[in-house]
Amino acid sequence: MSKEFTILYFASARDAINISSEIISIPSTSSSLSLQDLTNLLKNRHENLGKILENSMFAINMQYVDKDDESIMVKPGDEVAIIPPVSGG
């Protein structure tokens, strides 16, 4: 069984790293990954995302989640959206 999930990047997150999505593997020693661990993984993987992730909203499988909730876990097959603040004009 695949232990992968998809990350979708929107707006400034997409622009900062020049990709709109990527597939990430959960470490083989785990069956899931906390949202905090995912955030740290993404910051290490894409240094341009650091500040953007701090201010972004997150959605897992099209449901907004509280990024500060330590009980939220990303599981294989999940789709995680990174949604930065959008300024209007």
| pLDDT one-digit tens code per residue, 19-67 | 999 999 988 888 899 999 999 999 999 999 999 999 999 999 999 999 8
Run of H or E including 37: helix 35-45
Q: What's the full length of the chain, in residues?
A: 89
Q: How confident is the model at residue 8 (pLDDT cuts 50, 70, 90)?
A: very high
**Entry pTM:** 0.91
Cβ-contact 3, 76 below 8 angstroms: yes
Query: By the 8 A CB rule, do 27 and 38 touch?
Result: no
Q: For residues 77 and 88, give the distance between their C-alpha atoms in angstroms, rounded to a whole number.
A: 33
Single-letter amino acid, residue 39? T
pLDDT digits (tens, 9 = 90+) for 60-83: 999 999 988 989 999 999 999 999
